[in-house]
Amino acid sequence: MLEVDIPKEIFEYKQKFLFGLTVRQFISVVIALGICVPLFIFGNSIFGEDLTGWLVILIAAPVFAFGFLKINGMPFEKFAVLYIRQKIEPQKRKYEDLSAFWYCREEIIEVEIAHQIAKKRIEEGRVKNGKKSKQNAKRKGA
C-alpha cells in the first residue's frame, strides 16, 4: 500500500533537494564540509588533534545552524540579528521632551485662550447691547 505524508500546514512543507535535505540544508552541509575537512587534515599537524577537533566543532556549529535551525518559525540568521539587537540596543527608553513641540503647544493654547476670551467679550457685548436696546424700547413705549 502506498502512503503519502501530507503536512498539516502548507507553510511547513519544504521541497527535498538531495539526500533528503532541502537546498538550504544541503548548501550549509557543503560549506561546513568545505571548511572543516581541510582544517582537520591540515590543522592536526599545527594545533594537535584535540584543539583541531574543538576548532572544527566551533566553526561547524554556526554553519549548520544557518541551514538546520528554525527558532519560533524564523531562520537562524533572522533570530541572530534580533538577538544581537536586543542585547546591544537599550531596553529602557528615556523620556525626552521635545522643546520645539512644547513651545508650539503653548502657542496654540495661548491662541485658543485668546479666541475664547474674544468670543466671550463679544457675547457679553451682545447681551449688554441687547439689554440696553430692550430698556430703550421700554422707555420709548412708556
**pLDDT tens track for 2-50:** 777 776 666 666 667 667 778 888 888 899 999 888 888 888 888 888 8
Per-residue pLDDT band at 134 (split at 50, 70, 90) = low
Cα(95)–Cα(62) distance, rounded to whole angstroms? 39
Q: Characterize 54-64 residue by residue with b for buried, 16 or more Cβ atoms within 10 angstroms of its Cβ, and e for exposed.
A: eebeeebeebb
What are the structural domain ranges in the chain? 10-88, 100-142
Question: For 21, which DSSP code?
Answer: B
* pTM (two decimals): 0.48
Report which DSSP code applies to 91. Answer: S
Residue 98 — very low, low, confident or very high, per pLDDT cuts 50/70/90? low
pLDDT of 140 over the 60 cut = no
| DSSP letter (8 states) at residue 10 | G
